Amino acid sequence: MTDPVIDVRNLSITYTVGAGTFYAVSDVSLKIYPGQTVGIVGETGCGKSTLAQAIPRLLPEPPATIGGGEIIFRGTDLVKVPKRNLPMVRGTGIAMIFQEPLNSLNPAYRVFDQIAESIRIRHYRDMGWVKSFQGGEVPFDYSKPAAPPTVGSALTRPIVPDGALEEAARDRLRTRSEFREEVLNYLRLVRINDPETILNLYPHELSGGMRQRIMIAMALSEKPSLLIADEPTSALDVTIQAQVLTLMKELIDEVDASILFISHDLGVIAETADEIGVMYAGRLVEYGPVGDVFRSPRHPYTKALLKAAPAHYKSDGPLSSIPGSVPNLSRPPPGCRFHPRCPLVQDVCRRDPPPLAPVDKSADPQARGLHRSACYFAEEVPGLP
Amino acid sequence: MTVAARVVRRDGPLSVFWRVLRANPLSFVGFLMCLIIGLTALVVVVDPSLIIPFGPLQETAARNAAPSAQHLFGTDNLGRDIYSNVMLALPLDLGIGFAIAGSALIIGGGLGLIAGFYNTPGTAVGWLSVSIMRVTDIFLSFPSLILALALTRVLGLGVGPTVLAITITWWPYYVRLVRGEVLAVKHLPYVNAARAAGTTENRILLRHVLRNVLEPTIVYFTLDIGTVLVTYSTIGFIGVASKYPGPQPEWGAMLAFYQQTGSANIYPWLVLAPGAAIFITVLAFSLLGDGLRDILDPRTRRAFVRGTTTHDPPAESPAPLAIPSAAVTDSNPMAPPLAPVGPVETGAPP
């Protein structure tokens, strides 16, 4: 059995704003295996973006605090990695595509420079000029801050390491011709026609869809082992959304990376993901293969969410909605967070938060791709209207 | 005109620079003025005898002469040529403007970058950031002119101490400006995107933040050269900066001398010439500053580059009998740029 690319264990994240504390993510566990695409759905404010940004430790800390849990990536707990070592994890290890393609490219640089920067980061790490843990090996213990050089080592160490100057000269040769060719290849990979022209354009000269393609090209050019896509299609027009989505689906097969796909759109997740996690009020309430979860949801929230999605633009009456409203995350309800709105609520739901347990009780709880639900009454969910 | 192929020419930075200036008549004038002022200063430094007929203290036969062909700006009561003195003062005043504004830009800009970017509360760099800002606030709470005057009393008379005194009072404005811009830029999504790509914090500061802060800062710097000149001249006017008459004249000191000796009441050209020199120099840099903004910002630059989009002439078009208005617009270099072309979506259909 292969090891997961990323193993999130019991992750909790809080935001401290003024005197209040918001429990944005509570006790979320998630494993993503090589080549797998995992989708996370949930309403606005359910903590899915917080989760996505917490994995490469991109959340501003403070106000965010990782209250507990582990993020195991290549054998190391990212929660414990000191801030100054974090850039080594990002990019070549965990890359990310953001929600706002309009502002995610630096307006001052041409497309070529933006992508070349990413390629250069990977190149320098591949060459070992910059510390990283590309290639699955940890050349040093990056969970500890690098020791400051002692006077002795600083004096005896050569100022320029052997061969570095030749490498630098060769790299400078790369800069124009080979880098250009590589950038063009990545532009072609994201299906951009006429990449030679696009290369010389500034971000403001491109449409939203084009910019998102550039973002995807930048993320992929670092050859990450995990790609996190945080609502990559939300800010786009519907037609462009479809194009970018098609591209993402094609790339999932072509690219050698696991993908964590965050979206509030059930349809998008259904099309792209192998496994799906449903989040509600900071908790993962249901997890399983896309087919199982969509066909037979085992959590009342998932059931209601699927029912509320306007699937076929039916004209036989009003769209259904979930009664009640999303709880205030500064004072989340005790027990199951869905209990104030749940039709199956019992006393136990108000008391103890239900664990994310396999729906099929006889199954091996460690097995991959198992349908799990955080509901005490998961068997009764299919009987709900 | 029929449908013609659009050829977007990608030009070098110089031709873009040229086109932006040309499309902006005022900044073009500013640029020309700065060019002339700079070249004149260069000539004065290299070989003053080329354009300056008299020495700064040379007493000619004509006393209190009105402006004439021989004495362009007239002479004073001892027959000293005003034109020669104004011209001799040009390199000094220009150098003072660049020296003060430049060191304030480097000191204040550097501190502003640090204070704005590394401002995480509770850390060592956070404390550094807070200290920089509090020291800045203390400096800003004094009126800069008064503080500069007080400092010149401590540092002594002369050009060097005065430049130092003004620089000491000048950098806090750059800290404020740069810090504010950094704070605005560092929370933009592209900074976080760069972070996600594995860029280190220092490189984010130098490559992503600094580049986008540069544009308003450079514009402010250009406008500031004028302000610095006025301030220096004010201090010169009070008479603590430079000695006039002397071997190295200075505009503010000239103004002060003729005003205080009372000659200016009878012979106005004595103060008109140095006053106009200050005015023109300040104006030139202010006008240039506006044009620089357009050159540094890729978003405005684009409009001008698009303006050069060439339409290939239709192969079989008959020779125009009357001049079509569209053709006039196309060939007119001062015409506003063509309407910008909408964003290109060249992605493959799914």
- Per-residue pLDDT tens for A75-118? 778 887 777 777 878 877 888 888 887 788 888 888 888 888 88
Residue of A49, A103, A344 lying closest to A212 (CA atoms) = A103
- Among chain A residues, the shortest Cα distance to B302 is held by A205
pLDDT band for position B320 (50/70/90)? Answer: very low
Task: State phi, psi for A64 to the nearest 5 degrees.
Answer: -80, 150
Q: Measured on CA atoms in the order B227, B230, B234, B239, is the torsion positive or negative?
A: positive
Mean pLDDT of A231-259: 82
Whether A279 and A39 have beta carbons less than 8 Å apart is answered as no
Q: In the prediction, which pLDDT does A137 show?
A: 43
Q: What is the pLDDT of residues B131-151, one digit of tens each?
A: 999 999 999 898 888 888 888
B219: nearest Cα among B303, B301, B288: B288
Between A6 and B327, the higher pLDDT residue: A6
Q: To the nearest 10°, the Cα dihedral for A84, A90, A91, A97?
A: -120
Token code pair at residue B350: 């799914």
Q: From edge to edge, which strands make up the β-sheet containing A258-263?
A: A94-97, A226-230, A258-263, A37-41, A275-280, A283-289, A372-373, A357-358
Select from A48, A42, A41 the least CA-distant residue to A26: A48
A219 alpha-carbon distance from chain centroid:
12
B157-168 pLDDT per residue, tens: 788 888 898 999
Chain B contact for A16 (CB, 8 A cutoff) = no
Q: Is the peptide bond before B324 cis (omega within 30 degrees of 0)?
A: no
A95 sits in which H/E element: strand A94-97
> Mutating which of A16, A57, A106, A187 best tests the B interface, going by the most B Cβ atoms within 10 A?
A106
DSSP-derived secondary structure letter, A10: E
Q: Mean pLDDT of all residues in chain B?
A: 77
Cross-chain Cβ contact A193/B348 below 8 Å: yes
pLDDT at residue B177 tops 60: yes
Residue B196 contacts A where some CB pair is shorter than 8 Å = yes
Subunit contact B198:A91, Cβ cutoff 8 A: yes
Q: Name the residue facing B298 among A95, A204, A240 (closest C-beta).
A: A204
Question: Considering chain A, what percentage of its residues have pLDDT values greater than 90?
Answer: 2
State whether residue B5 sits within 8 Å of chain A by CB. no
Contact A52, A230 (CB under 8 A): yes
Q: How many CB pairs under 8 A join A and B?
A: 114
Would you state the pLDDT for residue A73? 82
Condensed to tens digits (0 to 9), the pLDDT of residues B198-244 reads 888 888 888 889 988 988 898 889 888 888 888 888 887 776 767 77
Q: Which residues have a Cβ under 8 Å from the Cβ of B178 and sit 6 or more positions away?
A: B108, B109, B111, B112, B113, B116, B213, B217
Question: Letter for the amino acid at B285?
Answer: F
Percentages helix, strand, coil for chain A (3-state, rounded to 5) are: 35, 20, 45
CB proximity B190 to A under 8 Å: yes
What does residue A151 show for φ and ψ, rounded to 5 degrees? -60, -40
Name the phi and psi angles at B87, rounded to 5: -70, -40
In whole angstroms, give the CA distance from residue B288 to residue B26: 8
Contact between residue B240 and residue B155 where contact means Cβ atoms under 8 Å apart: no
Omega of the bond leading into A63 within 30 degrees of 0 (cis): yes
C-alpha closest to that of B236 among B223, B220, B249, B253:
B253
CA distances from B117 to A85, B125, B185 (A): 18, 10, 9
Closest of A116, A108, A98 to residue A202, by C-alpha: A108
- Residue B323 contacts A where some CB pair is shorter than 8 Å: no
β-sheet with A6-17: strand ranges across? A20-32, A6-17, A64-73, A76-77
Residues 6+ apart with CB under 8 A from B240: B149, B152, B153, B157, B162
Dist. CA B134–CA B136, nearest whole Å: 5
Q: What is the pLDDT of residues B2-61, one digit of tens each?
A: 444 444 455 566 777 777 777 778 888 888 899 999 999 998 888 878 788 787 777 777
Residues B330, B325: Cα–Cα separation, whole Å: 9
B10 contact residues in A (CB cutoff 8 A): 200
Contact: A204, B299; criterion CB under 8 Å: yes
SS3 B258: helix
Tell whether B318 is within 8 A of chain A (Cβ): no
Q: What is the pLDDT of residue A172?
A: 56
Asked if residue B211 lies in contact with residue A106, where contact means CB atoms within 8 angstroms, the answer is yes
Measured CA to CA, the distance from residue A377 to residue A298 in angstroms comes to 9
Distance CA A370, CA A359 (A): 8
Residues from chain A that touch B210, judged by Cβ atoms under 8 A, are: none
Q: Specify the residue for token string 């080592």.
A: A153
CA dihedral A284, A289, A291, A292 (to 10 degrees): -70
- Mean pLDDT for A56-79 is 83
Query: Cβ–Cβ of B344/A191 closer than 8 Å?
Result: no
B302 touching A (Cβ < 8 Å): yes
The DSSP bridge partners found for residue A67 are none
- What's the pTM? 0.77
Tens-digit pLDDT profile for residues B233-288: 888 777 676 777 778 888 888 888 888 887 778 888 888 888 899 899 988 988 88
HEC readout, B20-85:
HHHHCHHHHHHHHHHHHHHHHHHHHHHCHHHCCCCCCCCCCCCCCCCCCCCCCCCECCCCCEHHHH
pLDDT at A128: 64
CA–CA dist B167, B99 (Å, integer): 8
Of B342, B157, B113, nearest to B246 by C-alpha is B157
Q: Is the pLDDT of residue A378 over 80?
A: no
Determine the distance in angstroms separating the CA of A30 from the nearest CA of chain B, rounded to an integer.
21
Do B274 and B255 touch, CB atoms closer than 8 A? yes
Asked if the model's pLDDT at residue A176 lies above 70, the reply is no
User: Residue B102 has what pLDDT?
Assistant: 93
Would you mind telling me the total number of residues written for chain B in this entry? 350
pLDDT at A153: 55
A271 touches chain B (CB under 8 A): no
Most B CBs within 10 Å, among A85, A196, A205, A238, to test the B interface: A205
Tokens standing for residue B291: 């044009």
First to last CA, chain B: 34
How much of chain B exceeds pLDDT 70, in percent? 81
Cβ-nearest to A243 among B8, B344, B350: B350
Give this complex's ipTM. Answer: 0.80
B293 Cα to chain A: minimum distance (Å): 13
